[in-house]
Chain A
Amino acid sequence: MADPGGFDHSGGGAAADAAIGPAPRPFDPWPATIFVILLCLAVLFLAPTLGVLLSSIKTTREIAFGELWMFPARIYLGNFAEVIANPAVHRYFVNTFLVTVPATALSITFGVLAGYVFAKLPFKGGNLLFLAIVSGMFFPPQVILIPLFRLFNGLGLIDTLWPIIFIHTAMGIPICTLLMRNFFATVPGALREAAILEGANEWQVLTRIALPLSLPALAVLATLQFTWIWNDFLWPLIFTQSDEKRTIMLGIVNLKGQYSVAWGVQGALSLIASLPTLIVFLFFQRYFIKGMTMGAVKG
């Protein structure tokens, strides 16, 4: 077909290509700036972990000579061996599990039950009650620390794991209720009604319909709660006194020599102590990402 514009398409070579190629984009400094900021933040966040990792594979002598940030000439695993062989560490682990597992399970259970009621069984004053529960998230622990200490002291529960389980359960309920209520609200009401017409009661609707659809939300909650409770330092410090009742985070602090801090051993225990939360995250990872973005888009 004839070219009505009379343009010459036959030649022109590089000059023509340059003429029709995309115009050079002006330099945009923002991506580079954002990259540098993110890189700085990543280094900032990773540096302590790297420090712990490096100290865990060095002897106390190497660390004492100020070689903390250098890669050791020989990887020393004695710190790990010492930690693993220490019966006190076993006790810390057991205590931490005894606190974390029931407190995580209980806070999620209460959150699921409350969230379902707030989302699917509206009642007079329900919104007010929901706000009251959720507002529990905003109380700083320091405000309730002394009253709780006096309360549990009065009950004779100081230096037991019970106060820590109670408090973590109670403090986990607001976030669990908020997340589960918001998730259940996205489950279509017709599913509940269809199940009820089929003969299901509310408990069956919750356990057979709503919960199986809530795995992403449950995974998020399980990961967050487990991590928070496992890593908690404050409440075990307040409510436990003897070494027999200490949890792992206090155990890390307690692992020090008489005249010096055993950095290498502490580093090794820190890494070992973070393994359960890492395992929980990896276990729920598939649902976790889905859960964190849920509600962002329909469907």
Chain B
Amino acid sequence: MADVRLDGVAKAFGSVQVINDLNLAVDDGELLVFVGPSGCGKSTMLRMISGLEDVTRGRIMIGGRDVTHVAPSRRRVAMVFQSYALFPHMSVADNIGFGLKLARTPPAEIRRRVAEVARTLQIDPLLDRKPRQLSGGQRQRVAIGRSIIRNPEVFLFDEPLSNLDAALRIRMRLEIARLHNRLGVTMIYVTHDQTEAMTLADRIAVVNGGSIEQLGSPMELYDRPANLFVARFIGAPSMNVIPGTVTVEGGVPAIACGETRIRLSAGPVPPGTSDATLGVRPEHLSAVNKGEGDFAGRVEIVEDLGAESLVYLQTGLMADSLTMRVTAGSGLSAGDAIGVRLDPARLHLFDSRGLAIR
């Protein structure tokens, strides 16, 4: 078991800077998730930690050991690839035992450990099969089996579930969480799926343009996003963001969004703040009778999801529609004119640079 530290790590491909001065500490036994849009550099970060990619600048420490220039196989890390990367000409048993065979482990010992891992992952009946004879979920288990057999200090997962269908993805997500609980080792997980990040992570690092926008626990990021990017990226459906202008009326700050003024009751707004963006999560909007609430809206579309519904509203606040989350059976239907109330304690305000004001 080991912690991972990145000190001032940077990566450039030619003249293109992909990672900028990255500082990060992953605690021993922690499950950290890198989440971000495609091309943000999250996979490059993982590949640098694994040693598959050289760093242009900076230092990588694993378990207190400087591994910046250490070969990938000597870093005591294991990686699960998005494509599984199983060797197609080898059986499941040979795939899992490949690393041990390279390390010249006695065949009897390899067989024993392969059987043990296979039992743990419930793939013992599949040991003689070739990867092409397995389903996506089974292949993913084999890939995980291959990574755990060598008892690595750090597990790296590069979007391991993105090739699976929705139901299997949820099941495998749970299995990875169980695996983390059971092994208690450090895991670094890359995904572009914020739901995966929220459900798995001890901490999430939201990556954008080669830098970490915010690092924190899932709920910390959800409740107190540091900037508009994080606010929009974390949460599904994403946060409603409404551009406006901050005013002060009778000593109480408010934000004017179109014709509507919304009072900002909690906390002071720094002086000089003018253009700002109001953020409100869909579940912090509620429907009230027409003429009541903070502003009026007209129901455009209702999406019933079973236990809840998503209501898309046309309002005078902005051209785009607002999303409101309501419990199922709210009785709302397209065309309804309603009033909308904001939860004043759960509003987010961002300045003109997109940084959170509170």
Contact = CB atoms under 8 A, between A and B. Distances in A.
Contacts of A188: 83, 85
Contacts, number: 49
Interface of A: 188, 190-191, 193-200, 204, 209, 212-213
A195 B79 contact: no
B81 interface: yes
Interface stretch (B95-103, B256-264, B285-293, B334-342): B95-103
B6 interface: no
Report the contact-size class of chain B (Cβ under 8 Å from the partner).
Answer: 20 to 34
B102 A204 contact: yes
B246 interface: no
Nearest to A190: B85
Identify the interface centre among B78, B86, B87, B146: most chain A CB within 10 Å of its CB: B87
Contacts of B79: 193-194, 197
A209 B88 CA distance: 9
Interface in B48-105: 50-52, 72-73, 77-79, 81-83, 85-89, 98-99, 102-103
Given A188-B83, A188-B85, A213-B89, 11 more contacts: A190-B85, A191-B87, A193-B79, A194-B81, A194-B87, A195-B87, A195-B98, A196-B72, A198-B150, A199-B73, A213-B88
B52 A199 contact: no
Contacts of B88: 213
A74 to B, nearest CB: 53
A191 B83 CA distance: 9
Which 4 pairs show the lowest CB-CB distances between chains A and B?
Answer: A198-B99, A190-B85, A194-B85, A199-B73
A190 B163 CA distance: 15
A200 to B, nearest CB: 6
17 contacts: A188-B83, A190-B85, A193-B52, A193-B72, A193-B79, A193-B81, A194-B81, A194-B85, A194-B87, A194-B146, A196-B52, A197-B72, A197-B78, A198-B73, A199-B99, A200-B73, A204-B102
A190 B156 CA distance: 14
A198 B74 CA distance: 9
Nearest to B53: A193
A235 B81 CA distance: 51
A195 B78 CA distance: 11
Contacts of B72: 193, 196-197
B73 A196 contact: yes
B89 A197 contact: no
Contacts of B81: 190, 193-194
Contacts of A200: 73, 102
Given A193-B52, A204-B102, A212-B89, A198 B83 contact: no
A194 B146 CA distance: 10
A241 B228 CA distance: 85
B57 to A, nearest CB: 21
Contacts of B78: 197
Nearest to A194: B85
B85 A198 contact: no
